[in-house]
A and B are shown apart, each in its own frame.
Chain A
Amino acid sequence: MERNPMRRQLQTLRKSLFDQGYLDDQFVQLEELQDDANPNFVEEVVTLYYRDSGRIILNIEQALERKPFDFNKLDAYMHQFKGSSSSIGAKKVKAESTLFREYCRSRNGEGCMRTFQQLKKEYATLRRKLEAYFQLARQAGPVETACRPK
């Protein structure tokens, strides 16, 4: 099977994740930690991120169902969420986290709710894109088996 077109597709997909603002340089730093000893490091880290941050998302959802809002608690949850999201280079998610915190600080409940909805969209979109990316990377196969030029 011709692997070069698939690797080109992988490169294009990867570049789009940065060009469209989904990822920042932190993701590149994670990729540089990946080697033969840790061949799936990035995917493992991203998987752990979605497992860990999923709990925080749930906590925030539950906190937003309780009135009046406990803005200090919401701020604390988002602090943790932003730290995690920054650690994988989730650029758009990080931006929404910052906005959410500003609304917490100004005690703007509507702003918090609106921003949280947008944050969840970005979070889910990034997950889909990264899952597609990792799936394509697996299909593209290891570097050593890329087609050699004739």
Chain B
Amino acid sequence: MFRNVVSRLVTETFRFDRHVKRAAFRPSLTSARVPVRSLTDAKDEVQPPFDSSLLDFLVCPLSKKPLRYDANTNELINEELGIAYPIIDGIPNMIPQEARLLQKDTDASNPPAQ
């Protein structure tokens, strides 16, 4: 019951837009003593920043061509092959099998070539 009250409070006081990143809700919910799990399952950790000095010598393992850092998706993009390597916890994952194909625009990891 208390959870319903809190959730109604949050939805009435803030415009709940599903496309907003969940992390943004963190500061607004700190006043509630009960974590509102029904709304968000965001993690507390902030992703450490990616060190772009790595881009001086980091290349795509398949084509050995330079990569572009995309800050929005936190990925390293190889435009030529159309693949994106994820960066997790500030550590770039340069295994080809873990890269994402850009053309298909899916989140599932597909091996572009093996």
A and B found bound together: no
Q: Which residues of B contact A (CB under 8 A)?
A: none
